[in-house]
Structure 1
Amino acid sequence: MKQKHPILKLLCPFLALLLLLQTPISVSAKTFPKSWPQAPEISNETGILMEAATGQVLFDKGMDEVRYPASTTKVMTALLILENIEDLSEVITFTDVITPDLEPGNSTIDAKVGEQLTVEQCLYAIMLASANEVCTQMAVRVAGSVSNFTAMMNERAAELGCENTHFVNANGLPDPNHYTTAHDLAKILAAAVANEDFCKISGASAYTIPPTNMTASARNLSNTNALIAEGDSHYEGVLAGKTGHTEAARNTLVTAARRDNMTLICVVMRSEGKDRFTDTTALFDYGFNNFHMEPVYWMDEENPAGYAVLPKDVSPGSLAIKEEDSPDLRTRTYSYQGSEILKVYASLPMEVKTRTTSDMSLVKTGVSEIQIGSPIIFPVMMVILAVLVVILIVVIVKAVLDSKKPKKKKKRKVN
């Protein structure tokens, strides 16, 4: 058996290593870390505590189980109104489309056909008084019909990442095809609280609609969310929210609160009595007392790549890091005790900003741009280069061996 050339023996493991590096690294599914702060028990059947900006879940009790949303549906209704009508002083004239919603037992402001309210007044009626007929009239104003509006609701829900939500009306009245989850409602409220007008309206403890063209008396509206309303249950830092109740849904509640630099979304579904308020308060206290949000830096030391919500005694430096590459995308995953906390992405090729300095500050600090190509290209180029080197070595060795072979002497012919 022929012995391998020493150089080839060195190159073979090197080539194998290059091929191995091209194998993508798998990322494990998210689970709560072992040392995660102990969460309180809640009476509601399902619930979630989520940080609004990051979507990071801090507490989960059946958050993806399908439930009836009741009037928490109106968060999406109000969001779409605000996203599609710029002038909140626009006057809305009520039509007979509201008649079915005025039946006894429905939540209304007793609007009358022909009555006129501004869009802003309609939004207060929806979020504070939970007026079903106002939702229906505004759905027609925005989309031309309730069915068109619910199609917009479902499309917007999908855009927000809702996976188990389907709307068939704008007010939340029970229907087998009208459902959602605590997780999906949290995503919807997180989008809504990014709108200042939504927070101003939904976060108001009270509002008065003055007399209209068909009503001589003012309508005094009070927020049914005890965490927003003034009183013993008021929660410090509360931003917005919405209550809900039907016989099918029981009591539901979505609320947002902000302290320091962290906005928390709490959703609880299907409870009795005041449990929705006490459970939400307990979950907010759990979140604000046990967690903090910190910036995470990747390639730019001035601008964070993202934010991570961590237990109070844990810093971003404690996070484990894994990277995974595709032909045009690099994904970096930050994990804490095996639980995924944050994912950040960068397109390839990408520019990385690095700060360059010199001793004694003799040279001004600047920023150098480094072009990083696709991670797939580098191994391929290295393999091609290695193959070319091997071929070159083989050619050289063959040439050397051929040169060492004894040359046959030509016999001279004798004439």
Structure 2
Amino acid sequence: MKKSRLLSLLLTLLLALSLVSPFALAAGESSGSAILDSMVVDAKAAVLVDPDTDEILYELNAHEKMYPASITKVMTCLLTLEAVDAGKLTLEQTVTAGPAIHTGIGDNASTADIKEGEEIRIIDLLYAALLPSANEACNVMAEAVSGDVASFVELMNQRAAELGMTGTHFANTHGYHDDNHYTTAYDVYLMSKEAMKHEIFRTIVASKSYIMPATNLHPEEREIRTTNALISNFRYLGYLYSYATGIKTGSTPEAGYCLAASATKEDRNLISVVMGCEREEGATGSAGYTYFSESSRLLDWGFKNFSRQVMLDATKRDIPEVEVTLGKDTNYVTLAPQGEISALLPNDVSTEDLEYNYTLNAQSVEAPVEQGQQLGTISVSFNDQTYGTLPLVASMSVERDPWLYRLDRLEKFFGQLWVKVLLVVILVAVAFLVVRRLLFGSRRGRYGSHSGGGRRSRYTGSRRHR
């Protein structure tokens, strides 16, 4: 009984290990790059992308549902600028803040102190929304663009769908918390990239401060300052990042601390998004705001550790040859990729770490073969991601041997079924005639000899005298 129980216990342990080990193996898997394997971002979700090529350098839960907080204002300002581009509004146009100015905004929300009935320019509203993160400015722009806030929110969701933001749903114009107002780190990248195409947007988000001119309800100028500590140390010290060019902060208790950041270094552009960051426990003053420190660290990591590398071009060797039939002086042709595939890769990745997959149109080809003729394709991948596919073309021409061609044509002609059938029919007919000739010819011969002998006895025999 004890032995039985011990055996049962061992089997149970083995089963448990068999269930656990695949997860342990997955957790310890290597990407093939120490640079990639060593990077960990202190956030619930993050992504680092080259906006010029859409190449993702780093991602952490990039498609998981998150709350965007005030990063929402990027979409509101994008739609306002697109209305300006369409001629519906102008940057210098003055609009009046209506009674819906505080729609969806709770207490202690960030503000530029824009009041109902205040006459204010579109350009000033854009600065107010993007620098001090004024919630009320977003509702004023929404009414200017769509007539009312609800219609503008519908437009926000429509534009999000057009941009491929499949994990996003907007419920308001500013990002004040709503359970039905959510996005993903990658979707934030998509709308940030689109907004950064507008020169005025880039100018605003790179600004440390802005002077809002006097209005009918504010007789004095107002200086507003950015909330982005990568751009300005007015609010928090110690986070300035010399390559930073924007973009937008966001924070609520539900969303945590969020930042969409952009940077340019030596003509290279990067956009990072961190979401759900927490302030370091016990931090005071300017310390512990990890959404700034993690963003600058992530951007710096991308600039220092990645470079554009040629993954595949015509210099690629060790490609399978293709057999050539009926060729003159050769029976094979070498192949080469046509074109080039390059990518931003970690600097510690070499061609030995890349995987190449070949697909040939056929195992052999009949001459003539022209140089540059496509005979297959080749793809290149790294870390389970395929970076592209190129045609495989003949690297030389192969002439056709005329004698081999004629012999081949004869062989193919006589190899056809109908020809084979016809030949069989002919052979059968010839054989029949030969057999018939042999059979009936011999019989006539025998009969002819017998009658001839009779005639000889009839005409040449001795005559009887009467």
Tell me the TM-score normalized by structure 2: 0.64
CA-CA distance at 1:208 after TM superposition:
0.8
Distance 2:133 2:354 in 1: 44
Q: 1:34 to 1:103 in 2, by over 3 A?
A: closer
2:347 maps to which of 312, 318, 325: 312
CA gap 1:49/1:218 in 2 versus in 1, 3 angstroms: same
Residue 139 of structure 1, aligned match among 137, 142, 166:
142
Secondary structure in 1 matching 2:139: helix
Give the letter aligned to residue 55 of structure 1: D
User: In 2, Cα distance between the equivalents of 1:35 and 1:307?
Assistant: 17
Match in the other structure for 1:265 = 271
- Measure how far apart 1:333 and its partner are: 5.0
Matched residues in 2 for 1:344 and 1:129: separation?
47
2:381 equivalent in structure 1: 335
The CA deviation string for residues 304-328 of structure 1, in whole angstroms up to 9 with x for no partner, is: 8775211125478975455899xxx
Corresponding letter in the other structure for 1:312:
N
Q: Secondary structure at the match of 2:274?
A: strand
Distance 2:352 2:84 in 1: 45
1:292 maps to a residue whose letter is: S
SS at match of 2:76: helix
Aligned residue type for 1:340: Q
The match for 1:397 is 420
> Which of these residues, 108, 113, 116, is aligned with residue 110 of structure 1?
113
Residues 279-325 of structure 1 deviation map (CA, whole Å, 9 limit, x = unaligned): 111111211111023577889xxx98775211125478975455899
Deviation of 1:218 (Å):
0.9
Q: Which residue of 1 aligns with 2:258?
A: 252
| Counterpart for residue 157 of structure 2 | 154
> Cα deviations across residues 362-405 of structure 1 (Å, max 9, x unaligned)?
xxxxxxxxxxxxxxxxxxxxxxxxxxx68971112222222222
Shift of 1:56: 2.5
Higher relative contact order (CA 8 A, sep 6+): 1
Q: Within 2, Cα distance between the matches of 1:261 and 1:391?
A: 68
Greater shift in the superposed pair: 77-86 or 67-76: 77-86
Deviations 1:135-177 (A, max 9, x none): 0111121122222222222222222222211101010011110
Equivalent runs, 1:373-384 vs 2, <5 Å: none
In structure 2, the residue matched to 1:6 is none
| Gap change, CA 1:305 and 1:391, over 3 Å in 2 | same
Please identify, of 399-408 and 118-127, the stretch whose mean Cα deviation from structure 2 is larger. Answer: 399-408
Aligned residue for 2:179?
176
Task: In structure 2, list runs of 5 or more residues that go unmatched.
Answer: 1-28, 280-288, 315-337, 361-375, 397-411, 448-466
CA contact (8 A) 2:32 2:353 kept: no
The aligned amino acid for 2:306 is F
Q: Please tell me whether residue 228 in structure 1 is matched to residue 231 in structure 2.
A: yes
Report matched runs for 1:79-94 at 5 Å.
79-86=78-85, 87-94=90-97
Call closer, same or farther: CA 1:310–1:119 in 2, change over 3 Å.
same
Over the aligned positions, Cα root-mean-square deviation in angstroms equals 3.6
- Aligned match of 1:286: 301
Q: What's the offset of the Cα at 1:33?
A: 2.8
Once residues 75 and 335 of structure 1 are traced to their aligned partners in structure 2, the CA distance between those partners, rounded to angstroms, is 34
Letter in 1 for 2:65: V
Question: Match of 1:65, SS?
Answer: coil
Q: Which runs of 5+ in 1 are unaligned?
A: 1-30, 347-351, 357-388
How far apart are 1:100 and its partner, in Å? 4.3
Match of 1:44 in 2: 43
CA offsets per residue over residues 190-247 of structure 1, 9 Å max, x none? 2222222211111111111011122111111111111111564221221221111112
Residue 64 of structure 1: CA displacement?
2.2
Count of matched residue pairs: 340
TM-score calculated relative to the size of structure 1: 0.71
Q: Which amino acid aligns with 1:278?
A: S
Distance 1:98 1:298, change over 3 A: farther
TM-aligned CA distance change 1:353 to 1:343, over 3 Å: closer
Matched-pair identity in %: 32
Give 1:125's match in structure 2, choosing from 128, 135, 151. 128
Deviation at 1:102, TM superposition (A): 7.2
Q: Matched residues in 2 for 1:45 and 1:393: separation?
A: 69
- 1:45 maps to a residue whose letter is K
Does the C-alpha gap of structure 1 residues 333 and 75 become closer, same or farther in structure 2, counting only changes over 3 Å?
farther
Q: Which one has the largest radius of gyration? A: 2
